[in-house]
Amino acid sequence: MHTPDGHTRTCGLIGHPVAHTLSPLIQNHMAQATGQNLVYLPFPVAAGDLGAAVRGALALDFLGLNVTVPYKSDVIAHLTEIDPLAERIGAVNTLVRCQGGYKGYNTDMPGLYRAMKQDGVEIAGREVVILGAGGVARAVAVMLLEKGAAGVHLLNRTRDKARAVAQEVNRMAGRPFARAYALEDYGQIPGEDWLVVQATSAGMHPHREDVPVEDPAFYRRVEIGYDLIFNPGVTRFMKLTESGGGRAYNGARMLVYQGVIAFELWTGTHISQGTADELCRMMAQAL
């Protein structure tokens, strides 16, 4: 690693909390692998201080920032420019220095798309089941629309939230693309061999035994279970998917690729497949 000097560029993560983040590991490894004179640090930002944090980063000439929970939507009000995809998704996780401020991007969804491709999961022309209707589930539905999925079936514990997301995505699509269900109504979803994206927070550390759907009959219809959770590395959802005969993936590759895309935006440097694979191995060890 470069010893920081007068030319060192600074990037960081703002959010609350940020203490357990793996992003410094990912970003500083890429800086080292590509010989960039760049450091990446986590910065906890208290409620109410988001605008001051972005202005402070600008004043200190930070090259860029990542943004995490709970500021991915609120940060939009503090941007100079926004990328059209991030605007449609309604969430920004990457800020890139531009004339007079920062331009906001969403690298979570391009990251998920790249991760799925790498895992051999094809989206185009496919009906996809999404578990959840929070910020990430909504973003996944928009990404699937952009990438040519045939449709999505949104299952959520609170059905009204799934309905609101489906309505919004259908408005964007200009056609009936998304349908909403309560979790227990999965029997209404047509077909077999589902691709299921698990976008709820159920099962995340420390609540490792939680899972949004328990019923083994659900999992017998799952061909691919793609959990966006990366801690733990193997969730109950993944175990149930495999017990039902399906293939299961976790969210570690998505985490790596959202970081890779952010780094590429900041530095204009391409991250090789070898470095990305190495990062995935590091994540598996770290978890």
Q: Which residues are catalytic?
A: 72
Per CB under 6 A, does 116 bind ligand NAP? Answer: no
Binding of residue 152 to ligand NAP (CB under 6 A) = no
Q: With binding defined as CB under 6 A, does residue 210 bind ligand NAP?
A: yes
* Of the candidate residues 64, 110, 212, 225, the single one contacting ligand NAP (CB under 6 A): 212
Give ∠ CA 35-79-88 in degrees, rounded to 5: 95
Compare residues 97 and 116 and give the one whose CB is closer to ligand NAP.
116
Query: Is residue 108 within the footprint of ligand NAP (CB under 6 A)?
Result: yes
Task: Point out which span in 26-34, 43-51, 76-84, 227-235 binds ligand NAP (CB under 6 A).
Answer: 227-235
In a 13 Å sphere around the CA of 106, the CA atoms on its Cβ side amount to 25
Query: Does residue 196 bind ligand NAP (CB under 6 A)?
Result: no
**Any contact of residue 258 with ligand NAP (CB under 6 A)?**
yes
Q: Where are the alpha helices (DSSP H) in 65-176?
A: 84-89, 108-118, 135-146, 159-173
Neighbour-count burial of 189, counting CB atoms closer than 10 A to its CB (0-12 exposed, 13-18 middle, 19+ buried): middle
Helix axes 252-267, 108-118, angle to 10 degrees: 120
Give the start-end residues of each E strand in 16-55: 38-44
- Report the residue from 16, 117, 161, 179 that binds ligand NAP according to the rule CB under 6 A: 161
Show the tokens assigned to 143: 């990404």
Stretch that binds ligand NAP, among 59-67, 172-180, 193-201, 238-246 (CB under 6 A): 193-201
Closest to 188 in 3D by CA, of 223, 215, 157, 218: 218
| Binding-site member from 199, 224, 238, 240 for ligand NAP (CB under 6 A) | 199
Residues binding ligand NAP (CB under 6 A): 108, 132-137, 156-158, 161, 199-202, 204, 210, 212, 228-230, 251, 254-255, 258
